[in-house]
Amino acid sequence: MKNLRTHGKSTIVWLLLGLMVLGLGGFGVTSFSGGSSEIGSVGETKVTAEEYARALRGQMIAIQQQTGQPLTMAQAQSLGLQQSVQAQLFTAAALEEQARRMGVSVGDEAVRQTILGAEAFKGPNGKFDRTAYSQALRRESMAESDFEDEVRKDEARLMIQRAVAGGVVAPQAMVDRAAAWILEARDLSWAELTAEDLPAAIEEPDEKTLKAWHQANADRFTAPEARKITYVWLTPEMMSDQVKLDEAALRAVYDERIDEFQQPERRLVSRLVFPSEAEAKAAKDQIDAGTQPFEAFVIQRGLTMDSIDLGEMTRQQLGAAGDAVFALDGPGVVGPVQTDLGPALFSMNAILDPINISFDEAKPDLRQEAAIDRAQRMIDDNSADYEDMLAGGATLEEVAQQTPMELGQIDWVAGETPGPGGIDGYQAFRDRAEAVSESDFPEIERLDDGGIFALRLDEVVPATLKPFEAVRDAVAEDWRLAETRRQLLALAEEEKLRASAAAEPGAEPQPLQGAGGVVQNSGPAPNAAGDNAAADPATQNPAPLEWTSQTGLTRDGWIDNLPRQVVAQAFALKEPGEIEVVDADERVFLVRLDAVQKADLDSEDARGVKNAIASRMGQSLQDDIFDYYSRAAQRQGGLQINQQAINAINAQVQ
């Protein structure tokens, strides 16, 4: 609704997008019921059923072309497509009503220029084609006068739209503020706290503690829902050993595919044709002298290397140039050679050795391929019989006894990584295993390699808390990790308080010094003034924290091996010298803001950013203003909607 030029009630838009060639019969619409040929109106401007059907189907076709998939009316409804098309049409109708009331119109010359410039009506020479124009309108069953009247209305609507929102620009203060925020850079320091930084090792928990942890964190030690499934399956690979292939059949396959096994020496060749032999020879002389490469002459002739590439060529295929090209021991250029197209230079780019695979060498692969192909056909031929057995009441166990299908069982869990070579490696099996219920009867299903399967759900084992004894070690490790993290967070808070207390009022923090903006310090954690404070014995910290610093980091920047949350926190801090604890990705950090580097809004980069911001903000403001105007125009004009007619069209558009 915010972009009338591309989505409005515009006949010229529909036609020029190529939808014109599809009549309403092509839309699956042959008649309209509901007692009206209009879906609504704004004042005296009507929105017809034909316009709605054409626009709706046009949007569906556009989505189909983008996705490559058919779009049903139910899917279109779930996307809100009908409501979107209606909003566009009624917005356009409101503008047309406004133009009618205000007497806004365009002259014949403006209409003429619009039609002459339409791509849909241009001929092979790129100019307006009168025949194409007439044929297009004839296919649409539309008179030229009616079409030109629609173009006139469309141009009038666009005049109003441009008048309403065309001059709206983003305020410079907003643009500068946004650019300053985006381009602001910061200096920060951080230190990661690990178990080695704790004053004492984590004590081993007792059984009571572990059992309580097991119960309190039951979700971590609960086995997911499992489905006990019995299945039968058969793949071409399972049957390949049973397929008998005689020597004559393999020899016939070898002979049919002889080009794969027997190929002469080939060369990768490009050919550049010249208007005259003199020009070709002059070019060859420059190439030989090293003053111009072969590619330069390709470009001079307005061609590309792809357009002159001949691909793999044998001596025989090259004709008159064959001997010269194959005389080269490495990449080079030969010619001029007279060809059917004229004198040409040939660039030999690579040598491909001959292929000579004998029947005996190819036989193992041929046998395997042929056996699998034969097995696929055998499975296809017999799958209907297996389906009949299941339909007749045979169990999977009976099918496995009476057919080559193999019986198996699996405890299937959704989301688990399948093991190698198992049936759960097939997507078709996983989809069916997730959807099947205990009341479903087994049916033959297809696998993507040509195999088949059928399955039966025997039991659904609900998610169950694993016994403590079975997972004691896992519980202990989980508790140990959680306790370590808890103590690290507590230690980080202590370090934060100590650094804050050590900072003198009004002292300016200094970032850590070092080449390249990053330095590793082995000394104590820096206080807020940038000095290395002596370790407080009260903490009994066995070693000083290792701090790292970075200067000039922007909001979209990152630091290798550092969670994004650390950088985000540095930009959340308000004043230089502030320190915060960051708990990210199961790691604990202290991050300190050292300095804020304001953006240089007069730099070349800043100008580009401001232009982009201004463009986006301006477009957003224009969209909003036009949205408000179009809603007001609909209310002022008196919007009327015929829902019965809309429903009738929705039911008929296919």
pLDDT in tens, 250-279: 777 777 777 778 788 888 899 988 888 888
For the chain, helix, strand, coil in percent to 5 are 50, 20, 30
Of 107 and 459, the one with more pLDDT: 459
Contact 346, 318 (CB under 8 A): yes
The per-residue pLDDT for 30 is: 33
Phi/psi at 457 (5° precision)? -85, 115
> Is the pLDDT at 507 greater than 50, yes or no?
no
Contact 240, 353 (CB under 8 A): no
d(CA 11, CA 55): 9
Question: Edge-to-edge strand order for the sheet containing 342-352?
Answer: 309-313, 266-273, 342-352, 332-339
Nearest alpha carbon to residue 5 among 154, 152, 150:
154
Q: Tell me the mean pLDDT in the region 472-494.
A: 94
Torsion of CA 260, 262, 264, 266, to 10 degrees: 20
Confidence of residue 21 (pLDDT cuts 50, 70, 90): very low
User: In sequence order, which ranges of 257-326 are alpha helices (DSSP H)?
Assistant: 258-261, 277-289, 294-300, 322-326
Contact 344, 273 (CB under 8 A): yes
Nearest alpha carbon to residue 267 among 353, 344, 356, 341:
353
Q: What is the mean pLDDT of the chain?
A: 81
The per-residue pLDDT for 449 is: 75
Contact 88, 8 (CB under 8 A): yes
User: In sequence order, which ranges of 290-438 are alpha helices (DSSP H)?
Assistant: 294-300, 322-326, 359-391, 396-402, 427-435
Q: Name which of 12-21, 31-40, 213-222 the model is least confident about.
A: 12-21
Q: Name which of 90-99, 256-265, 513-522 the model is least confident about.
A: 513-522
The per-residue pLDDT for 580 is: 94
Q: Name which of 95-109, 176-190, 199-213 the model is least confident about.
A: 95-109
Contact 481, 213 (CB under 8 A): no
d(CA 133, CA 630): 33
Q: Tell me the mean pLDDT in the region 484-494.
A: 93
Q: Tell me the mean pLDDT in the region 371-378.
A: 75
Q: Name which of 47-51, 171-175, 366-370, 527-531 the model is least confident about.
A: 527-531
Name residues whose C-beta falls within 8 Å of residue 620's C-beta, 6 or more positions apart in sequence: none
Nearest alpha carbon to residue 204 among 484, 437, 519, 400:
484
Q: Is-above-0.85 flag for pTM?
A: no
Q: Is 526 helix (H, G, I), strand (E, B) or coil?
A: strand
Q: Tell me the mean pLDDT in the region 18-34.
A: 33
Q: What is the DSSP string of 530-587?
A: S-BPPPPGGGT-SS---EEEEEEEETT---TTS-HHHHHHHHH--STT-EEEEEETTE
Using a 10 angstrom Cβ sphere, with 0-12 exposed, 13-18 middle and 19 or more buried, the burial of residue 118 is middle
Name residues whose C-beta falls within 8 Å of residue 69's C-beta, 6 or more positions apart in sequence: none
Confidence of residue 539 (pLDDT cuts 50, 70, 90): very low
The per-residue pLDDT for 338 is: 87
Nearest alpha carbon to residue 194 among 592, 591, 586, 593:
586
